Structure formats: C-alpha cells, structure tokens
Structure 1
Amino acid sequence: MLVLYVSVAIIALFVVWGLLSPAGFGAAASAAVTATTTNFGWYYLLAVLAFLLFCGYLAFGRYGQIKLGKDDDEPEFTTLSWFAMLFSAGMGIGLVFWGVAEPVSHYLKPPACITPETPEAARAALKYSFFHWGLHPWAIYSVVALCIAYFSFRKGEPTLISRTFRPLLGQRVEGPAGKLIDVLAIIATVFGVAASLGFGAL
C-alpha cells in the first residue's frame, strides 16, 4: 500500500500544480521535454535500436522457444486475438490521432534544415512517423512485457516491475529499492497515458 500512497501523492501534487498554475506547469513541462530531447536524444535513439535488436535476438535465437508460463501451460488466446488486443489497447487514441497528425505536422514543420511543404519534407515526415509507430516502439513494449510475463507466469513472482530486477538486485527488490522502482513505474505509466489521452482529446 505504501507504493500506492506515495505514487498517488506525487501524482496529486502535479495535478494540483497544473490546476493552480497551468501556465507555469506548461512552461516547466516544456522546458523538461526540451532539455531531455536536446541532451539525451542520442541516447534515446541508441536505446531504442538496442531494444529492437534484442527483440530480434530473442525471437530468432535459442530463447525464442521459452514459454511465458509453465512447461505444460497452453495459450489462453489465439495469436489473432492477441494482435487485436495489442493494437486496441496498446495504441488506441495515440494511433488514431497521431497516425494522421504526425506526418502532417512534420510536413508543415519539418525537423532539421528541410524546407516545409516540399517532397523532401514529405519523405522526412514519413520517416519520423514510421520510426515512432513502426517496429521501434513495439520493441520497447515487447521487452517490458516479456520481462513482466516471464517473471510472473514462469517464475511465480508478483506482477510488479520491481520483480523483474531480481537477477540484478536479489532480495532488495522486496525492500525500498523495489518500492522506488514500482513508484517510478506507476508515475511514468500515469503520465504517459495522460499525455496520450490529452494529445488525442486536443
């Protein structure tokens, strides 16, 4: 319960800040995003590429045959049902909104030194859109989902992000370090969902 109370308290502070000072909150959020993308954009690109390569290694290597459950477990849903659930729950409003808005946005205001509303801008717009909505984001989702599924269904751990760190942290995942990981995971999830829904609603 401590993880829940701490997470709710931190999220509530941000909500109150946004309600009392929308302009200040917006400016701070904008500055944080700008600083992050400016200073860590290179790291983000390399990390996403690493996720994609790691997924390929897992899928086509010797670990691709490991069941995400006990050896005698059978799948509860068909492959088609899983794809339907992934696309409806995993993409949802983000794909509905940004599927059109993102390429148009990049076409009108292309990144780097590209002239807006030109064939070159159109090509760049599609490149960025495919990067954001192609295999790369799915690789990130897949690695996180695989970690949780493996430790939960095969190792019998609780369905917590912290428990996926057991090989690195050992018993410390059940102490303050594990609780901190879970608090950060909850906050990141809430903020990520809020951002997706907010952009879609706008």
Structure 2
Amino acid sequence: MSTDHRFDVWAPHARKVTVRIEGADHPMEGLADRPGWWTLPEDAAAPQGTVRYGYILTKTFDEGTPEEREQVSDVLPDPRSRRQPQGVHELSCTFDPDACEWHDAEFRPRPLQDSVLYELHPGTFTPEGTLDAAIEKLDHLVDLGVTAVELLPANGFNGEHNWGYDGVAWYTVAEPYGGPEAYQRFVDRATAAASP
C-alpha cells in the first residue's frame, strides 16, 4: 500500500530519518541523487488520507561518549507542511489542496491600472479574526470600490495573534484564521466578488 502524500524532508546532517505517521514509525531513505533529502519509500505501508505526522532525526557526532555521540530529536514538524492544526511546533497534518471546489472559471482580472487594492489583515479585519468572517465583508469592500484584496501574510505563526511578519510555517495558513480550507474559500469568494 502506498500513501497519497509524499513524505520528503531535507535533513543534510542526519544519519537516519524516521517519519512518525499517526503514531507509527516508518524509516526513510536518503536520496542518492538529491544529497541531504530523505523520502518515505513509495512501497512503504502508510495510512491514506488526512494524517498527522512528524520527523525524527538521528545525528552522530565525532566527540563525546558513545551515548553523547548519537542524538535523536523529538518528533519535529515538517518545515514544508501545508497544515499545522495544533500550532507550528506540533505534528504536521496532510492536506489535499485539490479537494476544494473552485468557482473561478470565468474570472478575468482587471488591468492593474484600473484596480483599487485593499490590504487586509485577516486577524483584525473582523471581530472574529477569521477568513470566513472576512468573506462576509467582501460586499462592503466592493461597495467602497475595492477591486482587489491583498492579504497580509497569513502563514503559520507561534501563538494566537500576529501581524504576519514573523511567520515560521511558510506553506501553511494560520489556524486561528481558519486554516487552508478557509483560505481557499476566501480566495474563491474574493475572485467572484472582484469579477467585473
């Protein structure tokens, strides 16, 4: 059985890498053609669908006692994770970006010189501080003459509040804002609202 998610991680100083998926450990293989990269073999038995996972790195040092030379990390989040539901320091979670049903086939952007941009901070734009709550205010922006929205950085960060300038999980959408599904809904509705 193979997984529908590809588990790869760059760990150039690791001697061994294991991916823990839903509590089960799976050894990874170093890629000869991509030094420093580790992957879960395609034929590895791994759960299908949405799973929580993290990486365990084993490093070997030249100095110290035998016990000190080999160090095993805690379970670490995927630095390229698409979802961090419990925060940026916890287990990662697979996410299927293709599960979203888009309604933008007819969308045609306006010429930039005809655009009125609004820079939106998802955490402070509404009292709820979520992208779903921001969707409910898109008509208000259209009434103001806004034709395009630029989101302030919405990637994962440590804590509940952030201006977006010190995010650490660059491929995720912050869970306090609603996570990646809310981001997809916002983009889908914003393109519909911006259509001429």
Structure number with larger C-alpha Rg = 2
TM-score tier (shorter):
under 0.3
TM-score by length of 1: 0.25
Q: Which has the higher strand share?
A: 2
Relative contact order, higher structure (CA 8 A, sep 6+): 1
Q: Which has the higher helix share?
A: 1
